[in-house]
Structure 1
């Protein structure tokens, strides 16, 4: 039950920072924004999340998941409701607030998986929790454009607010901790935040977010604006990529449980993502449109499939009772890059062309694989 509710909370939170890009053409029209500007708007939620992850993780280590996730969920819902009647600037501030509150889910729901499931089943359990992210984005991509077209962008924000509040109620009712879970006192986060293995893992995760968010935040714009595919069709293809990415997260979790570790599969996925984006860059302006789509969809899915491995590895590196802090640290790197990637990739696409935006994604995936080099990053808990 805890895993189910945590996954629902994770998926609802993802509807904001991964699902909103599905209506980016309508956001641009509603607010009168350019492509880099809509990237900044979408990145506001990621910026708020990045700043709040470690504090929320530390609170979860002290107070437990229920309080953290419930307070964060209701706060995020209020911010999304505030974005509905606002102009572009105030909507950006409201999305920033939604990110600040929504960060609670990322740190606390991952900690719940770490405390409820043993190591040999943790990869699959975390895969289930992480699969909720692309599935939440996929459902949003399938439904939110129709809401935006039929009722307007403000109603789309209100729909996200209602779903977030409903899941917050479920969290307050059903989430609990297992008997004997370790709670920690205030302070002591320095041991976790200074660990070189966690720092290296966080850096690699941040680099892998570049291809993930190049696909996740800008795929609809690439398909619609560059390839000339209808906006509704582009959103549907985006939803398919999210579903495939969710299946990939489950498969990666099972793979890591059978392999007895997370880093080997993570390294392999990094290589596959780099090759996939390099291939898409080569095909983009030379191949038929159907072939480009056939290459983009599995590449985007691969770029979304690695997160559960990195999250689980970060939690397993933490000392007892510090899982929330470790997950907050690892996720902070992700959200820092997630904040920067949409406007950066959008600028590269406008200034240099979409091919170079895909090349940038391939280069960052390659750099992540170098950071994860065997011998420089090993698995096991932080000493302390």
Structure 2
């Protein structure tokens, strides 16, 4: 049956649209500063508001998806996110910040529920690829936003840009309600999620993932601003380079997913990516004062590497969960990601503003090293994906 591909397609689009807000909005940093009259640290705080809302709501949405199915969670959350995005367009910076928190609270449903759908519909030997496709939508959605939204904001104003995002989000919520289904025999949770949240393997993986988010969001927050204000690249080309880096990162997520399926290991590839991320940010630190083309090339490559790890970490989290609890496990791992994503934009902006660009980039390299050290102790390292559950065997037969 083609059901699993329809569900994957809808989940992928929903993930991309959600990412257009929390990953794509940094491309509007110059316009947001001008529109709201904000300093660089203040706009970093505004950009982190979405992540704050998402972090708070992820585990509750994961529990809802595990108990009531992903369609209900994604549909309600999608419509709520659309309403809050529309509200963002009508006020000053304080109202915008509050509304963006609301966007995160509702949009968190997509992160937990669409990941659960992948775990339900795809067997372990294809989950890396399927989750890579879903997660590739995040940087690709950010890339499309970075390519289109600054032009909309410049030509029609920041409020119109927010209204456009609201319209697309509402349309995807409608598609979710119409097309997303669970496979026959899918297991739903009936007990409290305490055992999942207390799993030490999942805790270690979640902390390591959170540390890897610091380089990812350091790049997302600072790349366009650094290229414009430090290097002198015009806003349009700088946003285009950011978009190119996100596209490369999305393709990287696909490649890493296939890689993890081939070696039957999620942690091994994640370790190597942590090392690559640390090395790349070290090069960025050294290249801050290099010629323009060198800075641009190094930043595009580094941002792509910083984006490419997410899908395999998400798959690892889902595979650690018992039957019927993948939504909660994915939500917990994502919760650590969003905690780091909430803190990183204002922190990176403050460090860059106070101590210089090089120090902010070096801090990102250090956190990647910390992630590598944690993953070196992960008890799941070197193991293949866990055995197929009965629902996975059924999904394979009917797909």
TM-score bracket for the superposition, by shorter chain length:
over 0.9
Residue 230 of structure 1 corresponds to 234
State the distance in 2 between where 1:208 and 1:320 align.
27
Residue 188 of structure 1, CA deviation: 2.3
Which deviates more, 287-296 or 55-64? 287-296
- The CA distance in 2 between the partners of 1:26 and 1:11, in whole Å, is 22
Aligned equivalent of 1:308:
311
Q: How does 1:1-384 map to 2 (within 5 A)?
A: 1-185=6-190, 187-285=191-289, 287-374=290-377, 376-378=379-381
> Structure 2: which 5+ residue stretches go unaligned?
1-5, 388-399
CA contact (8 A) 2:214 2:341 kept: yes
Shift of residue 377 of structure 1?
4.4
CA-atom RMSD in angstroms: 1.1
Which whole-Å CA distance do the structure 1 matches of 2:228 and 2:77 have between them?
35
Q: Residue 280 of structure 1: CA displacement?
A: 1.0
State whether residues 115 and 181 of structure 1, in contact with CA within 8 Å, keep that contact through their aligned partners in structure 2.
yes
User: 1:127 touches 1:308 (CA, 8 Å); kept in 2?
Assistant: yes
CA contact (8 A) 2:57 2:108 kept: yes
Distance 2:54 2:292 in 1: 36
- With normalisation by structure 1, the TM-score equals 0.98
Cα offset, 1:374, TM superposition: 4.7
Moved over 6 A (4+): none
Q: 1:244 offset after TM fit, Å? A: 0.3
2:77 and 2:107 in contact (8 A); partners too = yes
The alpha carbon displacement at 1:295 in A equals: 1.0
Q: What secondary structure sits across from 1:33 in the alignment?
A: coil
| Preserved CA contact (<8 Å) 1:74 1:164 | yes
Offset of 1:376 from its aligned partner?
Answer: 4.4
Aligned-partner Cα distance in 1 for 2:227–2:378: 40
Q: Aligned residue pairs: how many?
A: 380
Contact 1:200 1:377 in 2 (8 A): no
TM-score (norm 2): 0.94
Alpha-carbon distance, 1:197 to partner: 0.4
CA separation in 1, counterparts of 2:102 and 2:386?
33
